[in-house]
Amino acid sequence: MIIAVSGTPGAGKTTVSRILSERLGYEYVSIKDFALAKGIGERVGDEIEIDVDELSRAIEREFSGKNVVIDGHLSHLVSADVVIVLRLHPRIVAERLNFRGYSRKKLAENVEAELVDVILVEAIEENENVIEVDTTGKTPEEVVSEILSLLEKGVKRRVGIVDWSHAYDDVVQYLMLGGD
């Protein structure tokens, strides 16, 4: 089974993916490392540009029929048996990305993306089986337990459980309204 774990930067993808792969006995795959190793991605400044179509084909070739957890904020765009979209309160996303030294523009883009469900919407457009999980106020172990419980129950689709519309006032200071 291919499980893709996606979400806005700062939502806990890597930590959750590593624990999930360990608990399931699945191989852990970082989408960034995989893309770079296969020549699908290239470093451009601080970022890695990846051809998503080529990445999806390579993931399918390499991992079809295998048990893997794929970690990365583009993983929801590849062929997977189930996509887990991790959600996190946008204010906490801002705090974490600020701590990581993200530029004001990058921080604003990611806070806005979380606020308006960008990754969830893309995941739903690309995949049939999408499970949304709110990580706010939960430890990574609690998040993994929730994911495992949903998978054990046979849940294939759970979306629309997070609504950050009430959080706008909490994050407006991080947004770049009206441009730079």
Residue 168 three-state SS: helix
Residue 14 annotated as lining a ligand binding site: yes
Residue 154 annotated as lining a ligand binding site: no
Residue 105 annotated as lining a ligand binding site: no
Q: At what angle do helices 13-24 and 140-152 cross, to 10 degrees?
A: 50
Residue 15 annotated as lining a ligand binding site: yes
Residue 66 annotated as lining a ligand binding site: no
| Binding residue positions | 10, 12-15, 100, 138
| Binding residue positions for ATP | 10, 12-15, 100, 138
